[in-house]
Amino acid sequence: MKKSFFHLGSTPRLSAEEIIRAFPGADYSFHSFEHFLLIDADPQAVKDVFPEFGGSMRAGEVIAESKDFSEIEWALLEEIKANATEGKKMRIGINIFPDQKYHTVFPPLFKLLKNASKEEGISLRIVNRKGQNLDTSTAEKEGLFSDGHAEFSLFVLRSGTVLTRTLAVQNIESFAKRDFGKPVRDMGVGMLPPKLARMMVNLGRDEQGNLPTKIWDSFCGTGSVLLEALDMGIAEVMGSDLSEKMVDASRENIAYFSPPQMGGQKKRTFQHDATRSLLQKNANFQKSAYSFSPSSDLLLSNFTVVSEGFLGRIFTHAISDEEFFQQKDLLLPFYEKFLSARKKDGIQTIVLAIPFWKGKEKEYSFSQKLLEMANKIGYDASAALLYRRPQQFVGREILVFHGL
């Protein structure tokens, strides 16, 4: 079996984890600095499942691996010869990662490829401009993923260089549409990026690598998790929020991107306090205009909860010790009640984003204390995966809880 690769995004550890969950048991090697994952998986299977992922820019097949760069050049030449069509100009793009290495490598490599192709009678056009790597949108516009053309990447690792051919790239426009094209957006609540929402759904896969069949976002906000789950083909989604304004927002956004006539998925949105069991009497969902009877309408244990929880105060500065303790004292009891309520509901798997904060000299987190509380409630969890954009002072820790 040929090996496959993934070119990971800005959060490589988190991006790698969603892939590993989809290929349980597969051998892999993860290279954080190079944003690279090498995995023993069939390239066609990788191409087929790639649209489900949120944290990878490109993926495909591994052509060659070697510590000798001349062997990589030879393998690249052989790949060009094997894919060239007689009488037709072949377009290729070439990337070298990490980026800082391409300045010295590109010129001699381009010269070698052009001269060798000419000798073989191959009409070759290298589409890179000014000796720079290609972004995925440029590669698509150049038609590099159609027959007879190709995008190649060289990943320069400590163990040697890996030559790859791209088979799939991230649909950036689709993510942007579901992010900035929502009818209802609310910057004041700290919006969950669609790519992160999709990664979180993937973290809810079962031990066989299957996606959840039913998703409940108990802090649905404007519906980012629900929209990504529906786009991934998950037929049944459910969203709740304490704020009726957010319930309305999710409902409108879901209707815009996934109207009833497009598949007829079961979609429920309702008002509910996430710190209370959905099955307990007099729960807040009964006040909602979009309520339903959970006792007769669904079995909650079949749902996987995927949520960005309450983040507390949204800071725009590096926080102090005092500010951290204030947030911890507010949020720890809140999440203890949340987990206790989900245990009463019979939920077995929870993917939850909680806040951590950037300080002047260190980062602040309460996740370890929360994990200890969760264990007493009846949930086990793996170590947190981190997501924080460089300019942000509030990041997210992603925790995956499983019922004991």
- At residue 75, φ and ψ (nearest 5 deg) are -65, -35
The end-to-end CA distance of the chain, in Å, is 37
What whole-number distance in Å separates Cα of residue 83 and Cα of residue 73?
16
Task: Return the pLDDT at 100.
Answer: 67
The pLDDT assigned to 104 comes to 81
Place of tokens 């204030």: 326
pLDDT of res. 264? 43
For residue 190, pLDDT beyond 70:
no
Mean pLDDT taken over the chain: 90
Whether residue 211 contacts residue 202, with contact meaning beta carbons closer than 8 Å, is answered with: yes
Q: Note the pLDDT of residue 291.
A: 47
Q: Which residue has the tokens 């990504």?
A: 228
Are 205 and 233 in contact by the 8 Å Cβ rule? The answer is no
SS3 breakdown of the chain: % helix, strand, coil, rounded to 5? 40, 25, 35
- Taking residues 280-301, report their average pLDDT: 54
Question: What is the reported pLDDT for 65?
Answer: 97
Q: What is the pTM of this model?
A: 0.92
Q: Are 165 and 151 in contact (CB under 8 A)?
A: yes
Predicted confidence at residue 265, as pLDDT, reads 52
pLDDT at 23: 97
Residue 287 pLDDT class (50, 70, 90 cuts):
very low
Checking if the pLDDT of 373 tops 60, the result is yes
Helix (H) and strand (E) counts in the chain: 12, 17
List, edge to edge, every strand of the sheet that includes 124-126: 28-31, 36-39, 4-8, 56-66, 160-169, 150-157, 90-97, 124-126
Domains of the chain are 4-170 (3.30.2130.30), 174-403 (3.40.50.150)
Q: How many other C-beta atoms lie within 10 A of the C-beta of residue 207?
A: 9
In whole angstroms, give the CA distance from residue 372 to residue 131: 52
**For residue 262, what pLDDT is reported?**
44
Is-contact 199 54, C-beta < 8 A?
A: yes
Task: Give bridge partners of residue 151 from the DSSP assignment.
Answer: 93
Cβ-defined contacts of 155-158 (< 8 Å, 24+)? 155/5, 155/7, 155/31, 155/34, 155/36, 155/97, 156/34, 156/96, 156/97, 156/98, 156/101, 157/31, 157/34, 157/36, 158/31
Asked whether residue 101 carries a pLDDT value surpassing 90, the answer given is: no
Per-residue pLDDT, 290: 44
Average confidence (pLDDT) over 38-66: 97
Least confident range of 198-202, 275-279, 285-289: 285-289
Q: When comparing pLDDT for 197 and 182, which is higher?
A: 197
d(CA 49, CA 280): 39
| Residue 273 confidence (pLDDT) above 60 | yes
Side chain identity at residue 168, one-letter code? A
Percent of the chain surpassing pLDDT 70? 92
Residues 21, 204: Cα–Cα separation, whole Å? 8
Q: Is the pLDDT of residue 94 over 90?
A: yes
Higher pLDDT, 219 or 190: 219
